[in-house]
Amino acid sequence: MIPVQGLTGAKVAILGLGRSGLSAARALAAGGAVPICWDDNPAARAAAQAEGFDCADLGKAGVFDDITRLIVSPGIPHLYPAPNPVIVTAQDAGVPVDNDIGLFFQSFATLAWDNFGVVPKIIAITGSNGKSTTSALVHHILKHAGRPTQLAGNIGRGVLDIEPAIDGEVVVLELSSYQTDLARNLTPDVAVFTNLSPDHLDRHAGMGGYFAAKRRLFAEGGPDRAVIGVDEPEGRFLAGQLSEGAADDRVIRVSVDRKLTGLGWQVFARKGFLSEYRGGKQIGSIDLRSITGLPGAHNHQNACAAYAACRTLGFAPKIIEAAFHSFGGLPHRSQTVGEAGGVRFVNDSKATNVDSAVKALAAFRNIRWICGGLEKEGGLGSLSEPLETVRKAYVIGREAAQFAMKLGVEAEVCGTMDVAVARAVEDAEAGDVVLLAPAAASFDQYDSFERRGEDFVAQVQKHLTDT
């Protein structure tokens, strides 16, 4: 646990008692603060009280008179589409609003570091797609290289649940826009921006607000090094804002769309080869084509970002390359779950928006595509264009018929996962890939993309067992 510093003896209100809220309460108490908890769910309040925390209705008048700070869980809106009434009350009372990420950054460094040979570092990774894989890959490279490391944030453990850093340790954080938008303290040593595509637009009032939330990690965080994906206009804009000129190697530009040129620090992938250039000269290269845990251009972008982040720590390209080959990938992200009769089954349930689904579809050929679910704001967009890699789509979800009509490929309305997998298996031939890449949220049929992916795996296993 990371005890919260700087709030000893202060009353700190906590709104939302999920994983991050309870974690914040424990860390605040460990640092000598007095947590005052609230959640609209009685069961969540009971769980907090069972741990000895006081609960008080934060919506009552005068409750913030002696509160020093309000800590808000990431699922609770603080501005758009409308702020939670408790947050409005706190702001009217002049009480600062923060989250567990802000508490972590203000508390991570300790006096014990004075005796360390190598000061601990934080690598923070954000973006629309690929941030989980990039975070896990950086963590894997560090472990492979023998560097002490912990993985936390939007992946793995809560940020305040990790152990205090030891000599030379590197903490890898995956941060969502919900987390970066509100945190009062953001001070990573290395910050990574993977890419940007439409997502969570209602929460941020459009693309501008969404990008602004991501940008805070860099503009207000002031990292020593910034790794920026520049294949979208927002990434190019951000890299330009952070750089002092063409040769400024504090900014590392990353691309999978084109070869990057110039005197700065560049990492890009073309035709399956990663290249690193610095000062106009190539200083590293990796053949990514045979790395099974990183298939497709979207994973090559993740590889470039992870490579660049680890190069800032001084790791040699050969060490990073060896770690790439032992990386197994993450569940529900281009995860091969079986193969039979020359047909490969791939679970990419995390492809919850159009952009991530398109990237998954570009990673394979001869695809039997399982898709559908709760359509996100912005519609299906590019999915209405012909998709040359797709042989046929098998559509699930409560609105499967409407979803199928918007696809630019032959589509069969299946409704449920068991039917979709059965029909795809029946149609599949040697050389085909049965790919779950929904391009939609899961909440019409499942409580998370993980449950959806697990259902796909279970249905695939039934058919593999029968063959």
Q: Which residues belong to the annotated binding site?
A: 127-133
Q: How many CB atoms lie within 10 A of CB 388?
A: 11
Which among 415, 414, 413, 368 has a CA at the least distance from the CA of 387? 368
Q: Among positive and negative, which fits the CA dihedral 170, 171, 174, 177? A: negative
DSSP string computed for 346-399: EE-TT--SHHHHHHHHHT-SSEEEEE-SBPPTT-SGGGGS--TTEEEEEEESTT
- Asked if residue 214 lies in contact with residue 229, where contact means CB atoms within 8 angstroms, the answer is no
Pairing of strands 54-55, 34-38: parallel
Which positions make up the binding site for ATP?
A: 127-133
- Asked if residue 360 lies in contact with residue 383, where contact means CB atoms within 8 angstroms, the answer is no
Structure tokens of 313? 């720590």
Inter-helix orientation angle 207-219/233-242, to 10°: 30
Cis? peptide before 81, omega within 30° of 0:
yes
Which among 87, 18, 13, 91 has a CA at the least distance from the CA of 54? 13
